[in-house]
Structures are given as structure tokens and as C-alpha cells.
Amino acid sequence: MTSRARHWPEFAIEAACLGVFMISACGFVTLLEHPSSPLRHAIASAVLRRVLTGIAMGLTAIGLIYSPWGQRSGAHMNPSLTLTYLRLRKIAAPDALGYVLAQFAGGFAGVVVARAVLGTAVADPAVRYAVTVPGPRGAAMAFAGELVISFGMMLMVLLVSNSSLARFTGLFAGLLVAGYIGVEAPLSGMSMNPARTVGSAFHAGQWTALWVYFTAPPLGMLAAAELYRRLPGAPQIFCAKLHHDNDKRCIFRCHYPKNRRTS
């Protein structure tokens, strides 16, 4: 078996992580938005329900990033993030391809599991498999929203993960996910992630403005990477892992100063 072929556990982990994220998304949206849900009746404010969804998904992201799975694969869970690290030459092209394919498979499979567990509830028009579509302001505003939040997420990841605060990268990422859902979701549904959007869209049969979610997130993250590389005094980019302060192996082009493990 070639060295590259031995990276299949990381690919599988990427699929599993995004799958769990999608199960969580479908579950919490059903719990907070389905007309028959007691929580839906108890919490009349749509804004408060959205904030609670954001907190739930932010905590899910933090849990996955710091889990043994996330520590092993780097917890990208997002083709836009993986492709940005490919552009930064921190991940080899075959590994990037494996990650992206796994992320799309995981997003799809996660909704399959949610559908099996939640039944028709997750298909209710109020839930729609937690689909991400442009809000009332249209596709152009959704594109702008996705571009800005993706730029902000990637810039934060690069600034924090290559600093003395590196171990807190996952915490910052989760806080941003929570905040973005609370603030930006009315514009685009808050995706930042083509694989996450396709996972829901396939089951919902809802492909509205799919181009937004395939263009804005990677463009935003790539722009953040280009800006970071031009910042005066910006540290070198050590690795493509969001959490590297652990004893798990690293399959990336890693220059992390300690606890480095390779394939």
C-alpha cells in the first residue's frame, strides 16, 4: 500500500465529521422549528430560536474539532477550507481530492441518517432538511453574505492557528459559526460550505441559487489566504490542521513546531 493510500482514515473521518454536523443541524432545526415541537411553541421569537440554533451548531463544531476524530484529520469538514490549504501548499493534491470527495459524501450521508431517525418531521416545510437558500433580499445579497463570512472564518483560522493562541482555533471557529447563524442566516441560510449545502439540497429538492454556495465560500476563503500572506510580519503557515496540539499523526505538509507526527 502506498503512503498516500494509507491516508484513507483521514478521508473517512472528514466524511464522518461533516455527517455528524449535518445530523446535528437537522436535529436542532427540527427541534426548534417544526410546528409540532414543544420548543417551537415555547419560544415564540424566531430570532431567539435562530440564536439557539447557532449556539447548538457552534458547540457541535467545537466538539468535532477537539474530538479525537477532528484532531486526526484536522477537522476541515468544508471543501472551501481544504481547497484554500491546497492553494497555500499545505496539503497535497491527492489528499485534497480525497478530503473534498469525503466531505460531499459525509454531508449527504448525514442527512440520510437524520431522515431515517426523524422521519417526515425533517421534511416539513418549516425544516426542509436544514436547507440553505437565499433570503428575501435575493441571491446577490446571499452571495455577499457568504463571501464575507467565509473570508472572516478563514482569516481567523490563519491568524489564530499560527499564533500562540493556536490551541483555541476550534473555540474561535465555533463562536464564529454561532454568531454567523444568529446574524447572517437571514441572508443566505449561513452555509460557508458547498458540501453542507448540497447535503441538504439533494434531499429537499431545493437547488435555488446553488451557484452562490459553490462560488462565494471558496472565493472568500482564498481571498483571506491571499491577504494573510501579505500582512506585514504574518507568521508562516504551520499546518492545515485546526487543532494540532495533540499526539495524532499529521498527513499535511506540516511545519508545526511541536508534537509533529507524520504519515
Domain assignments of the chain as residue spans, ordered by start: 4-230
Q: How far is CA 23 from CA 27, 56, 133, in A?
A: 6, 12, 18
Q: In this model, does residue 242 exceed pLDDT 80?
A: yes
Number of Cβ within 10 Å of residue 131's Cβ equals: 23
Q: Could you report the per-residue pLDDT of 33-80, keeping only the tens digit for each?
A: 999 999 999 999 999 999 999 999 999 999 999 999 999 999 999 999
Q: How confident is the model at residue 234 (pLDDT cuts 50, 70, 90)?
A: confident
Q: Could you report the per-residue pLDDT of 80-138, keeping only the tens digit for each?
A: 999 999 999 999 999 999 999 999 999 999 999 999 999 999 999 999 999 999 999 99
Q: How confident is the model at residue 3 (pLDDT cuts 50, 70, 90)?
A: low
Q: What is the amino acid identity at position 243?
A: H
Beta carbons of 257 and 180 less than 8 angstroms apart: no
Report the CATH number of the 4-230 domain.
1.20.1080.10
Q: In this model, does residue 258 exceed pLDDT 60?
A: no
- Beta partners for residue 262, in sequence order: 250
Summarize the confidence of residues 230-244 as an average pLDDT: 91
Question: Looking up cell 498527513, which residue turns up?
Answer: 251
- Cell for 122? 425533517
Q: Could you report the per-residue pLDDT of 143-199, keeping only the tens digit for each?
A: 999 999 999 999 999 999 999 999 999 999 999 999 999 999 999 999 999 999 999
Percent of the chain with pLDDT over 70: 96
Q: How confident is the model at residue 245 (pLDDT cuts 50, 70, 90)?
A: confident
* Alpha-carbon torsion angle 152, 172, 87, 151, nearest 10: -10
